[in-house]
Amino acid sequence: MARSSAQVDRGDGDLLDKLVSINRVAKVVKGGRRFGFAALVVVGDQKGRVGFGNGKAREVPEAIRKATDSAKRDMIRVPLREGRTLHHDVQGRFGAGRVVLRAAPPGTGIIAGGPMRAVFEALGVQDVVTKSIGSPNPYNMVRATFQALENSVSPRSTAARRGKKVSELSIRRERSERVAQGKSDE
């Protein structure tokens, strides 16, 4: 039973909450079944910070509140190019779920299904192309997407880590592309 909704929480810095899925679970006891609910929520500020959380409770609103609180505690920062897309293509994997995230030109939009779309809308990405391979389980898809986003780095941080300038990184890439095409470097 998967539902999706959006609500803006004005109390915590204008965070966007996306309900990815609600799952009804049953515990069989002597007197019959006891029903509970598990909720998966994605929270983001639409400026490069996003987190996810899950919560379980006997009532739906309580499960959603627990999941939202968990998501707000574990937010990550993702570097975005021009504030609208990823810097480079990345892959993520969690369990049997695999995802491929690709940067896209302006005007492409969010081409992603279900749980991944919620992550990118909360993150503030406007242009991205994604592919999910393997398990369609929303928990695995969200975790695989987060694993891929954690592996995403900006050219600025790569240059700082190597002790280079950003311009030197792009010059080397252009050179390697020319060499791959068989053109001389002179």
Closest CA to 111 of 52, 102, 143: 102
Q: Looking at the predicted structure, is the pLDDT value of residue 73 above 60?
A: yes
What is the predicted pLDDT for the residue at 6?
A: 47
2-15 as b/e: b if 16+ CB within 10 A: eeeeeeeeeeeeeb
Architecture of the structural domain at 5-77: 2-Layer Sandwich (3.30)
pTM for the predicted model, two decimal places: 0.80
Domain spans of the chain, in order of start:
5-77, 155-186
Residue in 141, 41, 131, 150 with CA at minimum distance from that of residue 93: 141
- pLDDT (tens digit, 9 = 90+) per residue, 86-134? 888 899 999 999 999 998 888 888 998 889 999 999 988 888 999 999 9
Share of the chain above pLDDT 70, in %: 83
